[in-house]
A = this chain, B = another copy of it.
Amino acid sequence: MSITVVGTMAFDAIETPFDKTDKIIGGSATYVAYAASNFVHPIQQISIVGYDFPPEELQNLEQRGVKTDGVVIVNDKKSFFWSGRYHLDMNTRDTLITDLNVLADFDPQVPESYQDCDFLMLGNLVPAIQQKVIEQFKKRPKLIVMDTMNFWIETAPEDLKKVFTMVDVLLVNDSEARQISGEYSLVKAAKKILKMGPKFLIVKKGEHGALLFNEDNVFFAPALPLDEVFDPTGAGDTFAGGFIGHLAKTQDVSFGNMKTAIIVGSAMASFCVEKFGPQRLKEISHADIEERIREFVQLVSFDISLV
């Protein structure tokens, strides 16, 4: 069962209150692929990189069952580069540098070999590009999940609303949900957003967990309380990768299974933040993932028969 992933593969330089990196591998599609490849093969990657992107990084992904036919390598430009600095709470950050480089020309083409795709993950990109990707599929994927960000909510609201009508699941954080809906209450925000198109809304709250809304149902998944959040970069994309990976593996897009998928996504994200970049995602085994999911069960289980 295949998942097609569209997003960035890039370099990041990260400063936290505790440490900093030089340029390391990043990008939304990188994190999604590392997370999702634990659950299904192939992951069909669509992205764009420059001449400076290490070939061994692509090989590494291929060895994990990630197809890179859809990754364009531009020989005379550099890869997308982002640099940022996190505040003490690790939930907020300042962007220091954004060098679009190859991303300015990103016009993703869905390879013929990717047409057989049941699950589509649209990373945070220009809404018009997200729409164009969806329209290239001759058969609509069974489930389309999209991410977005405040920049597009502010600069391309009409394009964004058009994409909302074409997807099944929208993934945003709490401030984005408030911005899209104009409602402070997340419950009211969700009601408005679900009328805009998506059947499911996931509101990510960082260290405070995530909420899933569908019709009148709501589910809450906590984030695992960690001794230390070392680097939150990519945690949202890793969450998305675990979420869609579990759905694709189980072939079940019911609300009940989406709840489990959110726990899987939260577990994957809890690994991501333990080291800089996708490093920790490269190290973990299936046994590690299963153990982490058991910790989530422990974290929220209580005996209602005692009431």
Contacts and interface: CB of A to CB of B under 8 A. Distances in A.
A304 B88 contact: no
Contacts of A106: none
B300 A304 contact: no
A208 interface: yes
A260 interface: yes
A67 interface: no
A303 interface: yes
A54 interface: no
Interface of A: 88-89, 184-188, 205, 208-209, 211, 217-222, 225-229, 246, 250, 252, 256-257, 259-260, 262-264, 290, 293, 297-304, 306-307
Contact of A303 (B185, B227, B259): B259
6 contacts: A185-B227, A209-B222, A211-B225, A222-B222, A246-B307, A256-B306
Copies of this chain, whole number: 2
Contact of A228 (B185, B226, B302): B185
Contacts of A186: 225
A75 B297 CA distance: 55
Contact of A300 (B187, B228, B256, B300): B300
A130 to B, nearest CB: 28
Contact of A220 (B218, B222, B264, B306): B222
A86 to B, nearest CB: 12
A293 B306 CA distance: 12
A79 B82 CA distance: 58
Given A185-B228, A220-B299, A290-B307, 5 more contacts: A89-B184, A186-B225, A221-B300, A256-B306, A260-B304
